[in-house]
């Protein structure tokens, strides 16, 4: 028997954490009875519903979207702004974003209904790298780049880049290539703000071995079998044991 949160995640309802929130909120029933205990398990043949709608298992799908600037990674927006999932209407399964890019950031965004893989790709302990191209005002010095590697203190802890280097100048700005293995909210923007370099543009170009490539903004593609296999292999390695 599967734990209820795992059952819901495998059915495409979101990450396990999100599914736990659904359970605690009393939105989940088993055979018509509300369930709020996170340790509840689902037996074969039982009917699980969320908000009165039966949950049916879905095949796992994996999509890569080139998120444009101005698009949100939230599930709901009262203001009616465009969300990443609005660009995935051609996908019949209920997919959700793996991690987030803030509204003004762009680039590679993975969407799936595989809650287990999504959790591993976003949890810091697995150390899955994310690569960004970042345009900043001014010209960061060698010392600035070293500070990114050594780490800076933010309100929610100490963060550092796995690698950081300048790749080209553009007028009065500079493009940097930064690799992270963490995923704190607006991490790169806040790190560079500490060094007094405003971010003008931020684009994620890789998640582990998966590359954005030449995919146009707003377009999406399925991940290939080998890409999914490689992501699983990388995400399964707990960096705490190394």
116 is catalytic: no
Of the residues 31, 86, 102, 116, which is catalytic?
102
List alpha helices for the chain, DSSP H.
4-10, 16-24, 115-122, 142-150, 187-194, 225-235
Question: CA-to-CA distance for 105 and 190, rounded, in angstroms?
Answer: 13
| Alpha-carbon separation of residue 134 from 86, 108, 183, 197 (angstroms) | 26, 14, 16, 11
Long-range contacts, 119-124 (Cβ 8 Å, 24+): 119/9, 119/15, 119/16, 119/17, 120/235, 120/236, 121/207, 121/208, 121/231, 121/235, 122/15, 122/98, 122/183, 124/181, 124/182, 124/183
Cα–Cα distance for residue pair 231/209, rounded to 1 Å: 7
Residue 7, token pair as written in the block: 């059952």
CA distance 51 to 177: 44
CA distance 18 to 15: 5
Catalytic residues: 102
């Amino acid at each position: 028997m599967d734990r209820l949160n795992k059952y819901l995640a495998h059915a495409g309802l979101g990450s396990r954490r999100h599914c736990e929130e659904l359970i605690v909120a009393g939105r989940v029933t088993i055979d018509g009875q509300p369930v709020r205990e996170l340790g509840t398990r689902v037996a074969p043949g039982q009917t699980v519903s969320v908000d009165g709608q039966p949950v049916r298992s879905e095949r796992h799908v994996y999509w890569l979207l080139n998120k444009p600037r101005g698009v949100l990674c939230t599930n709901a927006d009262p203001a009616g702004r465009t969300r990443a999932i609005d660009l995935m209407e051609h996908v019949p399964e209920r997919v959700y974003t793996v991690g987030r890019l803030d509204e003004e950031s762009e680039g590679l965004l993975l969407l799936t209904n595989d809650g287990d893989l999504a959790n591993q790709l976003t949890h810091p302990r697995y150390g899955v790298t994310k690569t960004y191209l970042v345009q900043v005002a001014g010209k960061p010095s060698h010392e600035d780049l070293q500070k990114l590697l050594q780490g800076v203190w933010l309100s929610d802890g100490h963060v550092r880049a796995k690698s950081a280097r300048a790749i080209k100048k553009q007028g009065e700005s500079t493009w940097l290539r930064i690799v992270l293995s963490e995923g704190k909210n607006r991490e790169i923007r806040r790190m560079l703000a500490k060094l007094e370099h405003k971010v003008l543009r931020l684009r994620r170009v890789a998640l582990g071995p998966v590359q954005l490539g030449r995919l146009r903004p707003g377009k999406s593609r399925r991940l290939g079998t080998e890409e999914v296999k490689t992501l699983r292999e990388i995400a399964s390695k707990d960096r705490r044991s190394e």
